[in-house]
């Protein structure tokens, strides 16, 4: 078994030395985490190697080196980089997910290139993947890939991790490709985020855009489930915490401390990005110096900005703005002995970065939006018996775990300024106490734990999906059912109607049987060994009108009425519905557009198929709460079915009707097919050797599953042939 990690970039650098290219691994957090996974697996990595190699004679040699290190390259052309990476990924998805919708730029070629490159990644994966492998897709550049892979390899284990925020539905819905992106992700068994809010936003988008059923953290597709979960990414804690044990880093930090003079240090480290809130942070520092003159010459801000995407206009503009602000602050406040802002627009070596974390009195992490933010965790981890205060934006995913930081609203300059003052005044013991509490979390929830937890859960979901997949009627288990059918003499076949024999319609009265269905049912009934019964929640008048001419049994209103020998029988005496219950239901209908009430002889049904999903959830809870007392007083049952809430008599279910039917004869073949929770009552009530088939969403209580309603008819056709 292999673990195949797929990310936009391979974690390596290709460097040129004496006219020869060399592949050098440059492991980030993710590769470290995977290296220390508890279960040892063979790891392969697929991604863009970071350079164009079209006309390069060294390509073969590089490919060889990559293959030796188990890297599969996906080479991208400059056009693909422009349209897929800088275009759709970084000029559409990145601003959208960080709530900068005004920065979205749409290029004509972007979406096509995004699809094309996701397909290239799929092709590359298919070349190395084998049954039983685990695929872990990383991040927003590859949101279509899980589905592309699933379509080709239905049984493979696929996980997806989204490293950036997932925006609220209200924002996400504005994206023209919203449906395709969500469907792309649902190709995975497990879709994961850093925090529960991103997870909630994703589920709400799936619910509303794709109108799929979600059961808390589980999205139910017809043939399998997709788990959604939050796994806050951690860091390689030991690497940071032990940095100071390295004599070189220790020396470096002493030197750096000396070179900054006596001033206390505030540190910020980011990639150049508008989501990181760098200009507002500078305004906060300026305001701090302006309003707290006592701290001038006593505190400096060390600001590292790692160059990123600066060929894109918005980033170049941001860089200019930062340059100007730093110039303005230094110009105004600097003295001969003191520089207010030390600004570096280039990356630092790990050793220098660790030394800076070590000597900084305050870390200023104030992104406007950030999926997680690892810098905050790295700062906390690097401290070894030194004090330090973390000022952290409430908009960073890390703020959920690091509640002992000074949490600020990053758009509130005064809050940032006040936090700076509070941090500078904070007694050392209090700083240590807070740091220790945060270290406890960062050291436990480290990147190794993160990767292990993700893979463990992915395996569990795959197992669950394998079990569900094993129930789907395919050739082999169909042959077994057919064999039993053919060799039996006395068969009982109980069929649900809506969602099983007929597709759901917006208006229930439109679901009348087609000619084909009527023919199929009469063919089924023609066999003298077959007793065919339609068991439905519908009223007897409709069933009689639609199916009454066929030589089959009918059971209406979940078995409260049944037709045998051409006559209807009733299991109950006349019911007069309680006014209080009807009033509650009618009140719900008034307040819920597109819902309606159906009054049957044995049940009151509130239908909400066409109601907005969120409102429906709210009303279902409110309605059930309101019904509990009057229904329990009258010994009535409240039941939640497929987009309905139903009040009915306790002892009448499709289960009790199934038992009645079974007891009528000595059957050697019993089969029940249905799509709803009410049909599960009959699956449970039938003898153990009965063939029970759930249509649509798979179920734990049926033996088999037929994923879609139309397939049910094919199944029955093949069975009688």
- Please list the active-site residues: 496
DSSP assignment letter at 513? P
C-alpha distances out from residue 674 to 505, 534, 580, Å: 17, 10, 33
Nearest C-alpha neighbor of 137 from the set 229, 46, 220, 252: 46
Q: How far apart are CA 534 and CA 29, in angstroms?
A: 59
Q: How far apart are CA 415 and CA 284, in angstroms?
A: 8
Q: Which distant-in-sequence residues (6+ apart) come within 8 Å of 46 by Cβ?
A: 4, 5, 6, 7, 10, 71, 72, 73, 74, 121, 124, 125, 128
189 binds ligand GDG per the rule CB under 6 A: no
| Cβ nearer to ligand GDG, comparing 236 with 702 | 236
Q: Return the residue matching tokens 């088939």.
A: 693
C-alpha distances out from residue 102 to 98, 173, 547, 654, Å: 11, 15, 58, 55
| Contacting range for ligand GDG; rule: CB under 6 A; set: 313-321, 346-354, 441-449, 660-668 | 346-354
CB of 411 to ligand GDG, least distance (A): 18
CA dihedral 312, 313, 315, 320 (to 10 degrees): 140
Q: How far apart are CA 710 and CA 717, in angstroms?
A: 11
CB of 622 to ligand GDG, least distance (A): 38
CA atoms within 13 A on the CB side of 320: 7
| Cβ nearer to ligand GDG, comparing 269 with 391 | 269
Q: Which distant-in-sequence residues (6+ apart) come within 8 Å of 348 by Cβ?
A: 304, 356
> Between 66 and 105, how does the x/- string for binding to ligand GDG read (CB under 6 A)?
----------------------------------------
> Between 237 and 276, how does the x/- string for binding to ligand GDG read (CB under 6 A)?
--------------------------------x-x-----
Considering only 2, 9, 43, 163, the residue that binds ligand GDG (CB under 6 A) is: 163
**Terminal alpha carbon distance of the chain:** 43
Q: Return the residue matching tokens 């300026």.
A: 286
| Cβ nearer to ligand GDG, comparing 375 with 631 | 375
50-55, long-range: CB < 8 A, 24+ apart: 50/9, 50/10, 50/12, 50/13, 50/14, 51/14, 52/76, 52/77, 52/78
Structure tokens that stand for 442 in this block: 């960062």
CB of 375 to ligand GDG, least distance (A): 4
CB of 135 to ligand GDG, least distance (A): 18
CB of 496 to ligand GDG, least distance (A): 47
CB of 202 to ligand GDG, least distance (A): 16
| Cβ nearer to ligand GDG, comparing 153 with 353 | 353
Phi, psi of 371 (to 5 degrees): -50, -55
Q: How far apart are CA 109 and CA 81, in angstroms?
A: 11
CB of 269 to ligand GDG, least distance (A): 5
| Cβ nearer to ligand GDG, comparing 448 with 648 | 448
295 binds ligand GDG per the rule CB under 6 A: no
Considering only 306, 421, 613, 719, the residue that binds ligand GDG (CB under 6 A) is: 306
Q: Alpha helices, DSSP H only, in 261-405?
A: 278-291, 313-333, 350-359, 374-382, 398-401
| Contacting range for ligand GDG; rule: CB under 6 A; set: 41-49, 348-356, 383-391, 573-581 | 348-356
Considering only 185, 233, 325, 605, the residue that binds ligand GDG (CB under 6 A) is: 233
Q: Are 302 and 348 a contacting pair, CB within 8 Å?
A: no
473 binds ligand GDG per the rule CB under 6 A: no
CB of 517 to ligand GDG, least distance (A): 52
Number of residues that bind ligand GDG (CB under 6 A): 18
| Cβ nearer to ligand GDG, comparing 137 with 555 | 137
226 binds ligand GDG per the rule CB under 6 A: no
CB of 57 to ligand GDG, least distance (A): 33
CB of 194 to ligand GDG, least distance (A): 7
Question: What angle do the packed helices 677-685 and 654-662 form, to 10 degrees?
Answer: 30
Sheet of 389-393: strands edge to edge?
Answer: 341-344, 299-306, 264-271, 362-365, 389-393, 406-408
| Cβ nearer to ligand GDG, comparing 269 with 501 | 269
CB of 350 to ligand GDG, least distance (A): 5
Q: Are 227 and 218 a contacting pair, CB within 8 Å?
A: yes
Q: In 10 A of CB 475, how many CB atoms? A: 6
| Contacting range for ligand GDG; rule: CB under 6 A; set: 347-355, 430-438, 642-650, 712-720 | 347-355
Q: How far apart are CA 632 and CA 649, in angstroms?
A: 11
| Cβ nearer to ligand GDG, comparing 207 with 348 | 348
* DSSP element (H, E) containing 450: helix 447-471
Q: How far apart are CA 244 and CA 247, in angstroms?
A: 7
Q: Which distant-in-sequence residues (6+ apart) come within 8 Å of 168 by Cβ?
A: 201, 204
| Cβ nearer to ligand GDG, comparing 166 with 649 | 166
Q: How far apart are CA 305 and CA 303, in angstroms?
A: 6
Structure tokens that stand for 80 in this block: 């693909």
Structure tokens that stand for 601 in this block: 């002889």
Phi, psi of 42 (to 5 degrees): -80, 120
Considering only 62, 191, 243, 353, the residue that binds ligand GDG (CB under 6 A) is: 353
| Cβ nearer to ligand GDG, comparing 373 with 531 | 373
Considering only 158, 164, 185, 188, the residue that binds ligand GDG (CB under 6 A) is: 164
| Cβ nearer to ligand GDG, comparing 309 with 541 | 309
Considering only 100, 348, 478, 568, the residue that binds ligand GDG (CB under 6 A) is: 348
**370 to 429, contacts with ligand GDG by CB under 6 A?**
370-375, 378
Considering only 50, 279, 347, 513, the residue that binds ligand GDG (CB under 6 A) is: 347
Structure tokens that stand for 31 in this block: 């590769």
| Cβ nearer to ligand GDG, comparing 162 with 224 | 162
368 binds ligand GDG per the rule CB under 6 A: no
Q: Return the residue matching tokens 């899980």.
A: 146
Largest separation between any pair of C-alpha atoms in the chain? 106
**634 to 693, contacts with ligand GDG by CB under 6 A?**
none
C-alpha distances out from residue 681 to 473, 541, 587, 643, 700, Å: 21, 23, 30, 17, 12
| Cβ nearer to ligand GDG, comparing 370 with 404 | 370
Considering only 350, 614, 664, 700, the residue that binds ligand GDG (CB under 6 A) is: 350
CB of 446 to ligand GDG, least distance (A): 13
CA dihedral 344, 349, 355, 358 (to 10 degrees): 80
| Contacting range for ligand GDG; rule: CB under 6 A; set: 12-20, 72-80, 345-353, 645-653 | 345-353
CB of 159 to ligand GDG, least distance (A): 14
Nearest C-alpha neighbor of 269 from the set 387, 194, 353: 353
Considering only 97, 124, 205, 304, the residue that binds ligand GDG (CB under 6 A) is: 304
Residues that bind ligand GDG (CB under 6 A): 163-164, 233, 269, 271, 304, 306, 347-348, 350, 353, 370-375, 378
């Amino acid at each position: 078994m292999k673990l195949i990690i797929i990310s936009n970039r391979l974690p390596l650098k290709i460097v040129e030395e004496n006219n020869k290219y060399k592949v050098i691994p440059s492991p980030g957090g993710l590769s470290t985490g995977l290296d220390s996974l508890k279960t040892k697996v063979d790891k392969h990595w697929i991604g863009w190697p970071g350079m164009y190699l079209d006309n390069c004679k060294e390509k073969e040699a590089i490919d060889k080196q990559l293959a030796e290190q188990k890297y599969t390259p996906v080479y991208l052309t400059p056009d693909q980089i422009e349209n897929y990476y800088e275009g759709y990924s970084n000029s559409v998805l990145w601003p959208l997910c960080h709530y900068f919708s005004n920065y979205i730029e749409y290029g004509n070629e972007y979406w096509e290139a995004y699809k094309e490159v996701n397909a290239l990644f799929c092709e590359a994966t298919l070349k190395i993947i084998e049954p039983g492998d685990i695929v872990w897709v990383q991040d927003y550049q590859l949101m279509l890939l899980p589905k592309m892979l699933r379509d080709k390899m239905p049984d493979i284990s696929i996980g997806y991790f989204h490293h950036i925020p997932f925006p609220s539905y209200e924002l996400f819905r504005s994206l023209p490709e919203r449906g395709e992106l969500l469907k792309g992700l649902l190709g995975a068994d497990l879709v994961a985020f850093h925090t529960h809010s991103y997870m909630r936003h994703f589920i709400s988008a799936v619910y509303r855009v794709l109108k799929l059923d979600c059961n808390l953290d589980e999205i139910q597709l017809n043939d399998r489930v997709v788990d959604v979960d939050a796994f806050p990414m951690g860091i390689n804690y030991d690497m940071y915490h032990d940095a100071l044990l390295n004599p070189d880093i220790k020396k470096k930090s002493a030197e750096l401390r000396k070179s900054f003079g006596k001033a206390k240090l505030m540190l910020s480290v980011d990639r150049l990005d508008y989501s990181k809130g760098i200009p507002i942070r500078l305004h906060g520092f300026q305001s701090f110096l302006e309003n707290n003159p006592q701290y001038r010459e006593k505190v400096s801000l060390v600001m590292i900005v790692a160059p990123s995407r600066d060929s894109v206009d918005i980033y170049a503009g941001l860089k200019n703005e930062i340059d100007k602000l730093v110039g303005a602050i230094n110009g105004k406040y600097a003295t001969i002995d003191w520089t207010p802002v030390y600004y570096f627009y280039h990356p630092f070596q790990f050793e220098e970065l660790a030394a800076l974390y070590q000597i900084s009195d305050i870390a200023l992490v104030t992104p406007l939006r950030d999926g997680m933010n690892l810098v905050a965790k790295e700062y906390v981890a690097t401290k070894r018996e030194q004090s330090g205060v973390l000022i952290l934006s409430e908009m960073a995913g890390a703020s959920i775990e690091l509640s002992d930081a000074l949490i600020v609203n990053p758009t509130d300059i005064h809050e940032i300024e006040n936090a700076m003052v509070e941090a500078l005044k904070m007694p050392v013991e209090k700083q240590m106490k807070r740091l220790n509490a945060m270290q406890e979390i960062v050291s436990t929830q480290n990147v190794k734990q993160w990767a292990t937890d993700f893979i463990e859960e992915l395996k569990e979901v795959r197992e669950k999906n394998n079990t569900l997949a094993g129930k789907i009627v395919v050739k082999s288990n169909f042959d077994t059912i057919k064999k039993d059918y053919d060799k039996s003499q006395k068969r009982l076949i109980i069929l649900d109607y809506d969602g099983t024999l007929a597709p759901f319609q917006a208006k229930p009265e439109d679901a009348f049987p087609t000619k084909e269905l009527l023919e199929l049912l009469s063919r089924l009934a023609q066999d003298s060994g077959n007793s065919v019964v339609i068991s439905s929640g519908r009223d007897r008048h409709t069933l009689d009108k639609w199916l009454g001419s066929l030589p089959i049994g009918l059971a209406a209103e979940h078995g409260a009425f049944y037709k045998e020998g051409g006559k209807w029988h009733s299991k109950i005496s006349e019911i007069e519905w309680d006014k209080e219950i009807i009033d509650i239901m009618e009140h719900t209908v008034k307040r819920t557009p597109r819902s309606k009430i159906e009054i049957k002889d044995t049940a009151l049904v509130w239908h909400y198929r066409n109601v907005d999903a969120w409102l429906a959830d709210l009303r279902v809870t409110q309605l059930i709460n309101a019904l509990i007392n009057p229904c329990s007083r009258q010994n009535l049952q409240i039941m939640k079915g497929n987009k309905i809430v139903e009040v009915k008599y306790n002892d009448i279910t499709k289960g009790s009707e199934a038992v009645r039917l079974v007891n009528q004869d000595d059957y050697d073949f019993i089969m029940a097919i249905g799509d709803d929770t009410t049909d599960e009552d009959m699956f449970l009530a039938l003898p153990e050797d009965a063939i029970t088939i759930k249509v649509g969403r798979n179920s734990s209580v049926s033996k088999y599953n037929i994923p879609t309603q139309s397939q049910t008819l094919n199944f029955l056709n093949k069975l009688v042939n």
